[in-house]
Amino acid sequence: MDINGVSAIVTGGASGIGAAAARRLASKGAHVVVADLQEEKGSQLAAEIGGAYCKVDVTNTDDIVNAVEMAKSMGPVRVLVNSAGIGWAQRTVGKDGTYDSAANLDAFKKVIAINLIGTFDCIRIVATAMSTTEPMEYGERGAIVNLASVAAFDGQIGQAAYSASKGGVVGMTLPIARDLSAIGVRVNTVAPGLIDTPIYGTGEASEAFKANLEKGVLFPHRLGTQEELASVILECITNSYLNAETIRVDGGIRMPPK
């Protein structure tokens, strides 16, 4: 699928993997809406890539609709990258045997609301807009890429909420791809492993921490780069025969229990 001149929406696009994806899409001629809560970073990136920034909380349907309408004004809406997400770690049961020390249920619900329900809400709203665009060759109207995680398969101790949310994204990839085949929209999911992002910080302590993480990577023995993730995201969008797949990009790592 040729994305030159089309509109693309990238949630969580102001930083990390989302920003890398936004840059890669823009480099191929797409008009990118950076949909994120981080106004300063989002606006700066949008200016850098010739796109637009829209303040979006993916738990708010009206925000998603606003991003879609902005994208419509820039060109036919044919691309969605769902990169917005949060993490949370807590053991299911506390150490003192009291009910109050059990895992925080509100935190669990928040992770699911953002990572899973937010992803689905973006899909249903953006795909609705895609359904009204003119079909391209072979009836194709657009492509959607979701960001999951290897935690969907190899969840570690304390990752129940995060793994459940990302496992849900993986689990709904095929049925949604089947749903959206009726309108010519493909759906794929990318599951990153350990990616070198600003979340690890900088400095000597940060480098030592990352060096320890790298030990579990099969090959190459390093963390992945945001650009490597972005290239796979782009392939999922532009390769018109790639559909209903979840692709691990992780250097062969299988996460240990902790």
Catalytic residues: 162
Distance from C-alpha of 226 to C-alpha of 237, rounded to nearest angstrom: 17
Helix axes 118-130, 61-72, angle to 10 degrees: 30
Cis before 220? omega within 30: yes
Cβ–Cβ < 8 Å for 18, 11? yes
Angle of CA points 31, 223, 225, to nearest 5°: 15
- Six-digit token pair at 129? 């807009």
Specify which residues 31 forms β-bridges with: 7
Task: Give the number of other Cβ atoms within 10 Å of residue 243's Cβ.
Answer: 18
Cβ–Cβ < 8 Å for 158, 90? yes
